Amino acid sequence: MADTTAQRWMRLMGGQGRPTARPPGDADVADNVARYPERAAQALVDQSRRQGQAASARQARGWISRQLDEAAELLDQPTRDRIAQLAHVQIAKRFPEDSSDDGSNS
């Protein structure tokens, strides 16, 4: 059986630990991700490295964008935008030579 988007994001955010009376629903997971966008961004950057999707800044940004697009049913646009922004800052720190493409290479 395939994981739901909420289950993937719950694992990504490190949420399989604490037992609860009921498993978290989509709204619970979405709320947790929205509350901790820095953690979500870091988790995406780390996951991109673990899956071999971070050989370059462009590759990592593309992979993260696809993950956020797939989460459209779970996360609202402002949350996805904030996570993408935070992840791109982390990627820029990791790949400073790739991330300086601001069009000012004169």
Q: Which two tokens stand for residue 61?
A: 């940004």
Average pLDDT, the chain: 81
pLDDT above 80 for 104:
no
Q: Indicate the pLDDT class of residue 11, thresholds 50, 70 and 90.
A: confident
Q: What is the pTM of this model?
A: 0.73
Angle at which helices 37-50 and 57-70 cross, to 10°: 120
- The DSSP line for 59-94 is HHHHHHHHHHHHGGGTS-HHHHHHHHHHHHHHHHHH
pLDDT of residue 85: 96
Q: What is the pLDDT of residues 58-73, one digit of tens each?
A: 999 999 999 999 998 8
Q: What percent of the chain has pLDDT over 90?
A: 39
Which token pair is 69?
């697009």
